[in-house]
Amino acid sequence: MFSIDTESGFPNVAVISAAWGLGETVVQGSVDPDKYLVFKPLLEQANARPIIEKSLGKKALKMRYAEGGSKRTRIVETSPAEREAFVLDDDDILELGRWAVIVEAHYDRPMDMEWAKDGESGLLYLVQARPETVQAGLSRSSFQRYQLKTKGGTPLVTGAAIGSAIASGQACVIRNAADIGQFRDGAILVTGTTDPDWVPIMKRAAGIITDHGGATSHAAIVSRELGVPAVVGTGNATTVLRHEQAITLCCAEGDVGSVYDGLLAFDREEIDLGAIPTTRTDVMVNIANPAAAFQWWRLPAKGVGLARMEFIINALIKAHPMALLHPERVSAEDNRLIRELTRGHASPADYFVEILSRGIAKLAAPYHPYPAIVRLSDFKTNEYSHLLGGRAFEPEEENPMLGFRGASRYYDERYREGFALECRALKHVRETLGFTNVIIMVPFCRTPAEADRVLAVMAENGLRRGDNGLQVYMMCEIPSNVILAEEFAKRFDGFSIGSNDLTQLVLGVDRDSDLLATLFDERDEAVMRMVSEAIRKAHAAGIKIGICGQAPSNYPDFAAFLVNECIDSISLNPDSFVRTMAHISQAEQSPRAEPTPAPVLAA
């Protein structure tokens, strides 16, 4: 038994919590349930199964009926098998998601619900429904954005992030309710778990940190209601953090909340959505981390212009795809870590496909039904080798930036099997989870012949361009992509300019070199001519072209240049979205203007 929340800060997602046994809410401070996210708009589509996240909770305790006499229930530990298994199968998750949509529609407002499953018959029951009062009451015309000014190093503890704010102050470690009177206003409460007795001091806290509990624990629920940031379920905060220690609690980095040593400086910005102008140019967002995807859903973006697959692999999967397929080629220690990482899945390959597909879906959900352009993996060999098991499969290269990366890997026997897993994940996203708004983008494709080989391998793995509306784009980031744009346009549905690599290759400047940093400028005339030519040739060929590089976020005049060249879309980092939208709108209303030339360096 546990809960369903139809308004979790992102209105199109139902959050379902689940734990073993009965009456879990009584002991939820120690339960930490499983969590499932269901994308509600796709539940109506035939054959779609839009479960975009499945998180395994600890579920240390459960409540069960006692036998004999007047005893009713007793609290017992769960078995190892119960802790390692998901409480609900996918059919149950989807059924509960559909019920949530029906109840929400009936009451015409976001709802909190509780459900139960009969242990003998397996039947599901909805046992309670009440209006959601926290997220539903927040303003839809503005939101606050928090950001650390400097990184805090390795977190002291981590847990589930409740809210998206940052707080700093002295830790007030209180282990027992009898010591509540010791709390001082404005401190950060650190405790094992909370119950209603703790609410008076929770109201006076700048932040809350607990050892136990998950996203539906008492501490999490009350923190949301109070608007106080919290990091719950850390496991060891009361032993790691010292009483009166200066700390910073950060919930602004996604699902995981972190606690850092010291009073770190941070920014708080109020974003007025009503002040953001509309533009003729489609303005999209670059999203890297699935955990942070829902923080920015309020932005009026026309989709995701760049979702980097390698970021998902690095953050969530953590292992080299070939190591998952060939564990016999990695060290015994890496093999052990891979088995631990992939436990609960039918095979390591299934682990890769499921985690990657749900990560992609979570990136595609916030702006559905607008397009989400997902770039195929573009790790360099030195980056791939840092993944678990990666050293067994990656060569050492003198210049990985110009080496075995992007398109060249996908048809090569050294990575072809790994690429097949990427294709399986994308096929699952589109055809099983239902996100047909996902567009695939091929990076670092050097020649039209290489494009043909990549498209052929994709088709062999069930991703044939045009089937089920599948569009395939290409990163336009190599001079050959611009010079032979007419030929590439015959093979792809759109281009996206990667200004970082294009600048590097046009100017011959290593973009990672500190020594050459002053020479790297996207506004150099040679780069701008390349960009202009790419836009002209794409339009002449009748395909769309956008840009997903850093330049328009960094330079307002470069954004104006793109508008003057009639680019179809500009994709921005979320933190620069509002500022750059204003520049784009201004450029659309102004006479044609040329950008400021890059500075001329003295000899």
Catalytically active residues are 218, 548
Whether the CB-CB separation of 462 and 432 falls below 8 Å is answered with: no
Q: Cβ–Cβ contacts within 10 Å for residue 513, how many?
A: 12
Half-sphere exposure of 502 (CA within 13 A, CB side): 31
| C-alpha to C-alpha distance for 34 and 60, rounded to whole angstroms | 11
Q: Cβ–Cβ contacts within 10 Å for residue 130, how many?
A: 10
- CA 592, 595, 596, 602 dihedral sign is negative
According to DSSP, the β-strands at 544-547 and 494-497 are: parallel
Q: Cβ–Cβ contacts within 10 Å for residue 64, how many?
A: 14
What 8-state DSSP symbol labels residue 324? H
From the list 102, 70, 93, 106, the residue with the least C-alpha distance to 16 is 93
What are the residues whose beta carbons fall under 8 Å from the beta carbon of 154, sequence distance 6 or more? Answer: none
Q: Give the alpha-carbon dihedral of 80, 82, 85, 86, to 10 degrees.
A: -150
| C-alpha to C-alpha distance for 131 and 138, rounded to whole angstroms | 14
CA distance readout (Å), 147 to 23, 142, 311 = 38, 17, 20
CA distance readout (Å), 598 to 518, 519, 521, 576 = 10, 9, 7, 21
The two three-digit tokens of residue 192, written as one number: 């094992």
513 CA to centre of own chain: 29
Rg (CA), the chain: 26
Q: Work out the angle between the directed axes of helices 499-507 and 525-541 (0-180°, nearest 10).
A: 120
| C-alpha to C-alpha distance for 4 and 482, rounded to whole angstroms | 51
Whether the CB-CB separation of 78 and 86 falls below 8 Å is answered with: no
Cis amide leading into 395 (omega within 30): no
| C-alpha to C-alpha distance for 209 and 193, rounded to whole angstroms | 9
Whether the CB-CB separation of 395 and 381 falls below 8 Å is answered with: yes
Q: Token match 């840009």: residue?
A: 547
What are the residues whose beta carbons fall under 8 Å from the beta carbon of 483, sequence distance 6 or more? Answer: none
